[in-house]
């Protein structure tokens, strides 16, 4: 499932002052940034859940890897095996059962997982959020967790983001994300990305490993023989005439 909100995370390239966070949560945001910025590789187990107008429609689980600069590998094991790889330039989604891999340039991707490459980047939350505050109305998934509400940056935030809202057709006034952090150590417990259309994607993380040994080959995708490569924009439009077969 794809969300146009991801373009907010990827297209905001200006530096913003640290005053975007309210005083009560600013120390926690800085701790979160510091914890992940200090690691070149990351590993965590995840549970990914999709909601449409409040109703859960799908859940998936597996293991995710992150590496600088901006590389990811999501290995899904339940309910079926599939793979999502971001190599820094391209995003690849491979479903073995379909014998098909979809690829799209990272800068053009609107996939809900793409923003989480932030964990393997510069870790500047201010590039994503124009305001961060504690959300007392959101129920934490973990008794130790504190939920922060991030108001996503939009077209009115500066010259570097002028085309984002127009391009993604998202109203920044209704666009937000929730970050659930562990105040004791700054670890990320959960992310919820919300779309004004009523779609929510939730990522729950556990068993974080910082600087684990991860081979760079994990972030390179090589299509198996006999697998069709479909460009993402063609797949989105239903036109697969541009697919290529790997022999």
Which residue ranges make up each domain of the chain? Answer: 6-245
State the CATH class of domain 6-245.
Answer: mainly beta
Residue 164 three-state SS = helix
Q: Which of 132, 170, 125 is nearest to 151 (CA)?
A: 132
Q: What percent of the chain stands above pLDDT 90?
A: 49
Check whether 170 has a pLDDT greater than 50: no
Handedness of CA 220, 192, 119, 65 (dihedral sign): negative
| SS3 track for 6-37 | HHHHHHCCCCCCHHHECCCCHHHHHHHHHHHH
What average pLDDT does range 221-234 have in this prediction?
82
pLDDT in tens, 17-32: 444 688 889 999 999 9
Question: Do residues 153 and 172 make contact, with C-beta atoms less than 8 angstroms apart?
Answer: yes
Residue 33 three-state SS = helix
CA–CA gap between residue 190 and residue 154 (Å, rounded): 23
In this structure, of 89-98, 118-127, 204-213, the range with the lowest mean pLDDT score is 118-127
- Please report the pLDDT score of residue 167 as a whole number: 32
* pTM, rounded to two decimals: 0.78
More confident residue, 29 or 156: 29
Question: Do residues 113 and 119 make contact, with C-beta atoms less than 8 angstroms apart?
Answer: no
Question: Do residues 64 and 44 make contact, with C-beta atoms less than 8 angstroms apart?
Answer: yes
């Amino acid at each position: 499932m794809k969300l146009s909100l991801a373009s907010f995370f990827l297209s905001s390239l200006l530096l913003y002052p640290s005053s975007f966070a309210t005083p009560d949560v600013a120390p926690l945001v800085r701790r979160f940034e510091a914890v992940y910025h200090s690691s070149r590789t990351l590993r965590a187990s995840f549970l990914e859940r999709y909601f449409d107008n409040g109703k859960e429609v799908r859940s998936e689980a597996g293991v995710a890897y992150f590496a600088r600069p901006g590389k990811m590998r999501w290995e899904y094991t339940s309910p079926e095996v599939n793979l999502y790889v971001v190599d820094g330039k391209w995003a690849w989604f491979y479903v073995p059962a379909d014998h098909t891999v979809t690829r799209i340039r990272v800068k053009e991707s609107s996939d809900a997982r793409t923003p989480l490459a932030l964990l393997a980047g510069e870790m500047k939350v201010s590039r994503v959020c124009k305001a961060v505050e504690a959300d007392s109305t959101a129920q934490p998934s973990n008794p130790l967790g504190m939920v922060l509400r991030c108001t996503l940056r939009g077209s009115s935030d500066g010259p570097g983001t002028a085309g984002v809202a127009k391009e993604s057709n998202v109203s920044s006034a209704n666009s937000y994300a929730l970050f659930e952090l562990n105040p004791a150590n700054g670890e990320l417990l959960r992310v919820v990305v919300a779309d004004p259309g009523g779609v929510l994607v939730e990522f729950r993380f556990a068993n974080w490993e910082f600087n684990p040994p991860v081979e760079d080959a994990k972030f390179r995708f090589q299509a198996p023989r006999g697998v069709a490569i479909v460009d993402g924009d063609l797949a989105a439009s239903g036109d697969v005439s541009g697919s290529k077969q790997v022999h």
